[in-house]
């Protein structure tokens, strides 16, 4: 995969994960505890995947 495309996809993946975690933590949404836990976990996994893709798209360490 092209590094620019990988960085773009990683950034969007991380942003969507952040949004899902925020929704899970918002008390005004009527989610039960299990739904909140699963949505937050999914958001955290997406954030980690997005960060890993963005880091992997870097050309050099320095």
Number of domains in the chain: 1
Kindly state whether residue 50 falls inside one of the protein's structural domains: yes
Whether residue 61 is contained in a domain is answered as no
Q: Is the confidence at residue 12, as pLDDT, over 90? A: yes
Domain span at 40: 3-56
* Per-residue pLDDT reduced to its tens digit, 18-36: 999 999 999 888 889 999 9
Note whether residue 12 is domain-resident: yes
Please indicate, yes or no, if residue 62 is contained in any of the structural domains.
Answer: no
Residue 46 inside a domain? The answer is yes
Is 51:27 a contact under the CB 8 Å cutoff? no
Q: Does a structural domain hold residue 35?
A: yes
pLDDT at residue number 60:
76
Query: Whole-angstrom Cα distance, residue 30 to residue 41?
Result: 17
């Amino acid at each position: 995969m092209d590094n620019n495309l990988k960085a773009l996809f990683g950034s969007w993946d991380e942003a969507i994960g952040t949004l899902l975690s925020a929704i899970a933590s918002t008390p005004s949404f009527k989610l039960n505890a299990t739904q909140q836990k699963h949505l937050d976990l999914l958001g955290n996994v997406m954030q980690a995947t997005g960060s890993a893709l963005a880091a992997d798209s870097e050309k050099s360490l320095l």
